[in-house]
Structure 1
Amino acid sequence: MDTIAATVRIAVPAAARVGEGPVWDPGSDRLHWVDILSGAVHTSDLANGSTTTRELPTLVGAASPKRTGGFVAAVTEGFAEVSGGYVVRQHILGDGIRMNDAKCDPDGRLWAGSTAMDFAAGRGALHVLEADWSTRVVLEGLTQPNGLGWSPDGRTFYLVDSAEREISAFDALGNQLAGRRLLCSFPDGDVPDGLCVDAEECLWVALWGAGRLVRIAPDGRMLSTLPLPVVQPSSCAFVGSELDVLCVTSAREGLGLPDDTGSDGSVLIVAGLGVAGVPVAGFAG
């Protein structure tokens, strides 16, 4: 597997406990991302690193901008609207369960994975939130559903289960899925986390604890690896006017580092990859 030589720098110096869920907002030229354990929704200017923060009274797995303004957030209880205030509009999860990663499909539905707080096997699920705020469970029996994304033509859906150390592919049929198959697994102990998809149909996957990303072909072949100056990269997204810069979130939780030490917990950007990403829609509700 080739090692990618690219320019990596810190774009947003931070000490996020678990930075996650990066999503590029082309309308404002800003990056939205969260700190799960701190309940924080961040909006950052990658040109200068300045960040504004909205603190929520709960854990937040991901937050997506709404087309009408504000955010929809995947939170401990289910789905919440974050605009002038904070309102849990769908309280669908029971005790000991929380939402994890989430992302909008090309039609503006929000897909989110739920997981047990202790990552108990089989207690996770995949949910879809429609524009009218109705919800349904698409998949059950998961453990730690995490990174998710769609192929450039929208016909294939990808889903990570971090605890099972595997990525599955599905036929994407609107708000339904079919034809589940194993895309790839990580038997050597690497833990796949968040992901994004590029215009060449390849997946970029953050490997938690391994200090790197891996690029995976649509047939599951491991193509290349990208070393990073953080131990726990958590997710990634293509950003910028041409979507040709890769942004990577990271986490400090569990590393035992002082807040002012190292780059762990910061947001990184990677330039010079020679490939662009696929736009990610905002929530249609």
Structure 2
Amino acid sequence: MTTVEVFAPPEVVIRARATVGEGPVFDRRSGGLCWVDIDNGLLFENDLTTGEQIVSSMPTLLGAAAPRLNNRGFAVAVEGGFGLFVDGELQLVDPVLPESYRRMNDAKCDSQGRLWAGSTHKEFVPGVGALHRWDGRAESTVMASGFSLPNGLGWNADDTVMYLADSMTHQLLKADYRCGEEDLGEFTQLCEVSPGLPDGLAVDMDGCVWLAVWGGYAVHRYDSTGRLIGRVPMPVEKPSSCAFADDGTLYITSASAGLSEADLLQQPLAGSVFALSTTTRGVPVHAFAG
């Protein structure tokens, strides 16, 4: 039987009441932590040293934002597709989701600086979700389809495996990945996650996946075979995603969506951002090269 390491509860570092806090990523340009509130179209840029916070608002649902490598602003996955957010202005560059019932969800850049994002039906209709890839220079490409709610995604340190959560089917998936090539292997189940829904994730240099479990009051750590080897107890019901800082600290976003007033009295930190010290390091998450 595999021993499951139980970590100490994380500390709150950003007190907030985000509806759906998501998409944490570090901006190499500033050193700050960026994250979003999907439902409210908000982008947060936090200086964790000074406590300064910059909040930007967009007139649309905001699935995720990726810092740009050589330019100002961010590449964003929004309700209608992919765009750029620069100097407070949103430009929808690739309107790949014209239907009002679809939206982009979580997104992350690969080692070549291309933005991958999952799209979903707003009612999470099975099979409608897809995985898209956008380089900023041409129209995006659908790389895989048939999902319900494609969510947290990432790659191992060798760039040979891609991970993807399909939340509504309770699955953490994996596929063979060849960096720089056009083909992507078929996604297969790495493990089933229940109770709760698999949400955002981060991959560490030891080959393990740290997965926020929405509705599960926890972040799980799985090894490369899908075995649960670690559990981070959370003071909130809906941890939503996580990202590593360079020093190995894991930052965890959360949500307050769907919680009653009574729930919020019991979970006053719902929608906040937390930090956990670990003994590992995260696989680097890259900036958008487009």
Q: TM-score, normalised by structure 1?
A: 0.94
Residue 29 of structure 1: CA displacement? 1.3
**Aligned residue among 41, 66, 72 for 1:69:** 72
Greater Cα shift, 249-258 or 53-62 = 249-258
1:128 aligns with 2:101: no
Q: In 2 relative to 1, CA 265–48 (structure 1 residues): closer, same or farther, beyond 3 Å?
A: farther
Distance 1:233 1:133 in 2: 34
Say what the alpha-carbon RMSD is for the aligned residues.
Answer: 1.6
Partner residue, 2:16: 14
Q: Percent identity?
A: 40
1:110 aligns with 2:112: no
C-alpha offsets along residues 112-171 of structure 1, whole Å, 9 cap, x if unaligned?
000001011111101000141421111111110001000011111001000010011111
Q: In 2 relative to 1, CA 270–48 (structure 1 residues): closer, same or farther, beyond 3 Å?
A: farther
Question: Is the 8 Å Cα contact of residues 8 and 268 (structure 1) preserved in structure 2?
Answer: yes
Partner residue, 1:79: 82
Q: What is the identity, as a one-letter code, of the residue corresponding to 1:247?
A: Y
Figure out how many residues of one structure are paired with residues of the other and give that number: 281
**Aligned residue among 203, 208, 218 for 2:214:** 208
Instruction: Write out aligned runs for 1:186-201 (5 A).
Output: 186=193, 188-201=194-207
Partner residue, 1:49: 51
1:176 aligns with 2:183: yes
Partner residue, 1:254: 258
Partner residue, 1:97: 102
Distance 1:132 1:59 in 2: 23
Distance 2:27 2:8 in 1: 24
Q: What is the identity, as a one-letter code, of the residue corresponding to 1:199?
A: M
Runs of 4+ in structure 1 displaced over 6 angstroms?
A: 258-261
Residue 263 of structure 1: CA displacement? 0.6
Residue 279 of structure 1: CA displacement? 1.0
1:224 aligns with 2:230: yes
Unaligned 5+ residue runs, structure 2? Answer: none
Identify, as 1 or 2, the structure richer in strand: 1
Distance 2:188 2:238 in 1: 27
Q: In 2 relative to 1, CA 49–11 (structure 1 residues): closer, same or farther, beyond 3 Å?
A: farther
C-alpha offsets along residues 79-108 of structure 1, whole Å, 9 cap, x if unaligned?
111002211011111220000000000110
Question: Is the 8 Å Cα contact of residues 108 and 131 (structure 1) preserved in structure 2?
Answer: no
Residue 54 of structure 1: CA displacement? 0.8
Question: Is the 8 Å Cα contact of residues 12 and 50 (structure 1) preserved in structure 2?
Answer: no
Question: Is the 8 Å Cα contact of residues 13 and 49 (structure 1) preserved in structure 2?
Answer: no
Partner residue, 1:30: 32
1:155 aligns with 2:150: no
Q: In 2 relative to 1, CA 120–270 (structure 1 residues): closer, same or farther, beyond 3 Å?
A: same
Q: What is the identity, as a one-letter code, of the residue corresponding to 2:7?
A: A
Q: TM-score, normalised by structure 2?
A: 0.93
